[in-house]
Amino acid sequence: MKKLTGFLGRFILDCATETGKATLMVRSAAFWSFKADIEWHQAFIQAVRVGVDSLPVTALTSFFTGMVLALQAGSTTRNIFNEPIYIGALVGFSLVKELGPVLTAIVVAGRAGSAMAAELGTMCVTEQIDALHTLGTNPSRYLVIPRFIACMLVIPFLTVFADFSGIIGGFMVAVLKLDVPSTTYTNDILTFMEIKDFMHGFVKTFIFAFMIATVCCYKGLSTRGGAEGVGRSTTSAVVISMVLVLILDYFATAVLVSIGI
Amino acid sequence: MIQIRGLKKHFGPKEVLRGVDIDIPDGKTLCIVGGSGTGKSTFIKCIIRLLRPDGGSIMVDGTEMAHEEHEYKLSQIRRSFGYLFQEGALFDSLSVWENVTFGLPYLTEIPRSKYRAIAKEKLALVGMENVEELRPSELSGGMKKRVALARAIAAEPKYMLYDEPTSGLDPIMSDIINDLILDLKRKLGVTGIVITHDMKSAFKIGDTIAMLYQGKFIASGTAEEFAKTDNPYVRQFVEGSSIGPIKMKLRDLD
C-alpha cells in the first residue's frame, strides 16, 4: 500500500512538473510571438509537413471509417426496421461531430507529431538548440511558434477533408452495397444536420491542434540522453498526444453540449 | 571586458564550478586548459548563459549576466557573442551557406542579397570553397567544425567563445584555425575564450592561459609563465604525462 501511494504520488508530481514546464514553453512562445517577427517561412514549411504528409493517411482512415459506419448502420437498421434507414445521418453525425476530429488528431499525432518530437529532440542532443540561442534567435521563436501556427491552421482543414472523405466512403457503401438511393443518403445529411453540428467538431480540432503542438514540441525540446533519449521522447510524445486527444475530447464535448453547440 | 567572480555551477550533487574568478580584458584571448570533465564547457556555457549559474557574477561590459532571467534581455546581451560548438551544431536541414548566414537576419542589418557573398567570404577564411550547397551530413568532422567557425564569425561578434576549435582537425588545418583566431583578434579586436586540450594551440593563441581543475582555476599566466611554471598539475598537463598528481587523484577516486 505504501509503495502504491508512493508511486501515485510520484506520478502526480511528475505530471504536475511536466505540465508546468510545458506551460512555461507556451508562455515563452506567446511572449516571442508579440516581441519578434513571426517566422512565416518556417510556419509554411511546417504546414506543408503536417498537412501534405498527413493528408493521404487521414483521407484513407476516414474513408474506410465512413464505409464501416455505413455498413454497421445499414445492417443494424435492416435488422430492426427491415430496411437500411438514416444511413447518411448516422455517418454524417458520427464523422462530423466525433470521428473526423478525433481520427485526424490521432493520425497527425502519430505522423507529424512524432516527426516534430524526433526532429526537435535530435536538435537538442546535438546542441542545435543551444546554437539557436547563440545566433540571435531562440527555440520558441524559430521552432515552437511556426509549429503552433502550422498545427492550428492545418489540422482544422485536415479534419474538414476527413469529414468529406468519410461521408463519401459511407455514400459508396450505402449506394453500391446497401442499395440506398443516393438522394436519400444526401437528404438525410442535409435534413438532419445543422451548421452547429459541424461547429461542434470544428471547434474541437483547435483544442487538439494546440495540445498536439504543445506536447510534441515540449517533449522534443526536453530530450536528454542521445539517440535513446530521442526515441523515448518521440514515443512519449505520440502516446501522450493520443491519450490526451481522447481525454480532451470528452471534456470538450461536455462543455460544447452544455453551451448548446 | 568580461569579469567573472565566484562563479558556481552544480549538476545535482556534483559541483562542477566551485567559485571561478577571472578577468578577460578586451582584445585579449584566454585559453582554458584542463582535463576532460573539469567544467571547461560548462564555464563558457555559463558565460553566454546557455546554462544558469548557481552563484557568482558575470559582468559583460558592465552588464550582469549571471542572474538575468528575462529572455529578451539575455538575447540582447548574447548578440555580442559568437560561439563555436565542440561538435559544430550545424543545422541538418539547411545547406552550408544557409548555416553560415543563419544568424545574420537576427544579429545584423545586412540585406539578404549579400548573404551568399558573405557566406563565400567566411568559408574562404576557414579554407573551404565550393561547399556552399552541400548539407552538413555530406561534410567530414573537420569540415563541419570549419563551417561552424565560419557561422560563428559571420556576424563579426565582439566576443568569441571557442569550444575546442582544433579538435578533429589535421595539424595543418589546426594551425590555420589558430592563425584565423589570431587574425580575428588583431584585425577586429575580437576578445576570445578558447577551450582546448591542444597545448601547441594554447601557447600560440593565448594571451593568458588558465588551467581549470576540480572546479577552480589552479594556475593562470602568459604562455611563457605557463610553460615555466613549477605547479605539478600544470606541468603534468603541459607535458601530457600519465604520471603526476592528476592521475593520482583519479586513482584515489577509483
Q: Is B218 helix (H, G, I), strand (E, B) or coil?
A: strand
**Chain B residues within 8 A of A28 when measuring between CB atoms:** 71
Is B9 inside a domain boundary? yes
- Whether chain B has a CB inside 8 Å of the CB on A226: the answer is no
Binding-face residues of A in 34-63 toward B, CB within 8 A: 35
- Whether chain B has a CB inside 8 Å of the CB on A28: the answer is yes
Is B142 inside a domain boundary? no
Q: What is the CATH number of the domain that holds B198?
A: 3.40.50.300
Domain locations along chain A = 40-258
Q: Which residue of B has its CA nearest to A28?
A: B71
User: Domain range for residue B70?
Assistant: 1-80+158-164+189-254
Q: How many domains does chain B have?
A: 1
Q: Which residue of B has its CA nearest to A37?
A: B106
Is B146 inside a domain boundary? no
CB contact under 8 A, A134 and B152: yes
Task: Please give the model's pTM, rounded to 2 decimal places.
Answer: 0.88
Q: Which residue of B has its CA nearest to A125?
A: B89
- Whether chain A has a CB inside 8 Å of the CB on B115: the answer is no
Is B182 inside a domain boundary? no
More confident residue, A135 or B70: A135
Q: Per-residue DSSP letters for A184-220?
A: HHHHHHHHH--HHHHHHHHHHHHHHHHHHHHHHHHHH
Is B196 inside a domain boundary? yes
Q: Which three cell numbers stand for residue B33?
A: 586548459
**All residues at 6 or more sequence positions from B1 whose CB lies less than 8 Å from its CB, including other chains:** B23, B24, B25, B26, B59, B60, B61, B191
10 Å CB burial of residue B41 (0-12, 13-18, 19+) is buried
Question: What does the pLDDT profile of chain B (254 residues) look like in tens digits?
Answer: 899 999 999 998 999 999 999 999 999 999 999 888 888 999 999 999 999 999 999 999 988 988 888 888 888 888 899 999 988 999 999 999 999 999 999 999 999 999 999 999 999 988 888 999 999 999 988 889 889 999 999 998 999 999 999 887 888 888 888 988 898 888 888 999 999 988 889 999 999 999 998 888 988 889 888 888 888 888 888 777 777 777 655 554 44
In angstroms, the CA A106 to CA A124 distance is 25
Contact (CB, 8 A) for B194 and B201: yes
ipTM of the complex: 0.89
- Whether chain A has a CB inside 8 Å of the CB on B51: the answer is no
